[in-house]
Amino acid sequence: MTQNKPIILTGDRPTGQLHLGHYVGSLENRVRLQDSHEQFIMIADMQALTDNADNPDKVRSNVIEVALDYLAVGLDPSKTTLFIQSAIPELNELTMFYLNLVSVARLQRNPTVKSEMQQKGYGAEVPAGFLMYPVSQAADITAFKATVVPVGEDQLPVIEQTNEIVRKFNNIYGDVLVETKALLSTNARLAGLDGKAKMSKSLGNCIYLGDDADTLKKKVMSMFTDPEHIRVEDPGKIEGNMVFAYLDIFATDKAVVAEMKAHYQRGGLGDMKVKRYLLEVLEAKFGPIRERRAEFAQDKAAVMEILRQGSLKAKAVAAQTLYEVRKAIGVEYF
């Protein structure tokens, strides 16, 4: 590893293609950070199985889809190590060691776990793998001695729990593991097309990076605006209007957006005209990404080879950390 650079560990669960919410929340930053950091990006297939154990085909098939999205947005395998979580068995062994350092009660108190359990309707029958996934994430982070982990605010409790495990381990066995810091995204969470919640596959309100031009057009034209803006001449509301919310994020010409907002609010500007402008903005930004994705998709074997090579590199790094952990505990017998 490059010792003079901060080390980043981040990743995504392969439960579907990545969407514009992922792009705004993390992908754009990862492309930027790969020039200044030693970056490991994990396709977290084992974590995805914690609530998809009955549908492994979904997880397996989406590994390549997520990899295509990564490459399409500009993540460079010569700068960023892309790897598959399940290809690194050392992560499982680290997880087992760490499980001895955290109680079930502490996991149940984790706000992130509690919130996600409520969202999925889990009670006492929560899968054990789901309950302990913050420990698995601690293994992912510490295996690479990551000093920085880009996260949203909802994941801060996981970072806190990782550092608790690090401190407890080092207190018992000596200084081996490294505490990490959260790097919060400066971008606001992208709402869904319906304006009612964050962009989410389960809610069916996403624009995916791989959507073709026709699909993108249909989705933009169906976006939530101002339900009271019936006639073109009627004054319209900006607040809660998803078309303007997306323009605020993706449009580069802020003066044009400001004029459109003023025109819309005083009346005389129709929703379709605003949507057509947003479509132009999104097509200009994501059309090239879609085209690159399609090019990479023509040779999926080459994409899998990128993941294989990245996983080999990641495995070597994780194996060194595991050796140090085993030696500190005193179970490195041979």
Per residue, the 3-state secondary structure of the chain, as one string, reads: CCCCCCEEEEEECCCCCCEHHHHHHHHHHHHHHCCCCEEEEEECHHHHHCCCCCCHHHHHHHHHHHHHHHHHHCCCCCCEEEEEHHHCCHHHHHHHHHHCCCCHHHHHHCHHHHHHHHHHCCCCCCCHHHHCHHHHHHHHHHHCCCCEEEECHHHHHHHHHHHHHHHHHHHHHCCCCCCCEEEECCCCCCECCCCCCECCHHHCCCCECCCCHHHHHHHHHCCCCCCCCCCCCCCCCCCCCHHHHHHHHHCCCHHHHHHHHHHHHHCCCCHHHHHHHHHHHHHHHHHHHHHHHHHHHCCHHHHHHHHHHHHHHHHHHHHHHHHHHHHHHCCCCC
Nearest-angstrom CA–CA distance, 156 and 180: 11
| pLDDT over 70 at 188, yes or no | no
In this structure, of 82-91, 178-187, 280-289, the range with the lowest mean pLDDT score is: 178-187
Residue with tokens 């290809």: 87
Burial class (CB in 10 A: 0-12, 13-18, 19+), 214: exposed
**What would the CATH number be for the domain defined by 7-190+300-329?**
3.40.50.620
Q: Sheet containing 80-84: give its strands across.
A: 80-84, 38-43, 7-12, 148-151, 181-184
Answer whether 155's CB lies under 8 Å from 110's CB.
Answer: no
Q: Architecture of 210-294 per CATH?
A: Orthogonal Bundle (1.10)
**Residue of 52, 76, 197, 61 lying closest to 130 (CA atoms):** 52
Distant-in-sequence, close-in-space partners of 79: CB < 8 Å, separation ≥ 6: 34, 35, 39
* pLDDT mean over 175-180: 97
With bands split at pLDDT 50, 70 and 90, how would you rate the model's confidence at 87?
A: very high
Confidence class of residue 231 from pLDDT cuts 50, 70 and 90? very high
250 three-class SS: helix
For the chain, domain boundaries: 7-190+300-329, 210-294
Give the H or E element holding residue 64.
Answer: helix 56-73
Give the residue-averaged pLDDT of 118-122: 86
Query: At 124, is the pLDDT very low, low, confident or very high (cuts 50, 70, 90)?
Result: confident
pLDDT of 1 over the 70 cut: no
pLDDT in tens, 233-289: 999 999 999 999 999 999 999 999 999 999 999 999 999 999 999 999 999 999 999
CB atoms under 10 Å from CB of 121, counted, come to 8
pLDDT-derived band of residue 3, with 50, 70 and 90 as boundaries?
A: low
- Cβ atoms of 138 and 161 closer than 8 Å: yes
Distance CA 216, CA 82 (A): 28
**CA 312 remoteness from chain centre:** 22
pTM recorded for the entire structure: 0.91
Question: 307 CB contacts (<8 Å, ≥6 apart)?
Answer: 43, 63, 67, 82, 83, 84, 87
> What's the pLDDT score for residue 2?
45
Phi-psi sector, 74: left (phi>0), alpha (psi -120 to 50), beta: left
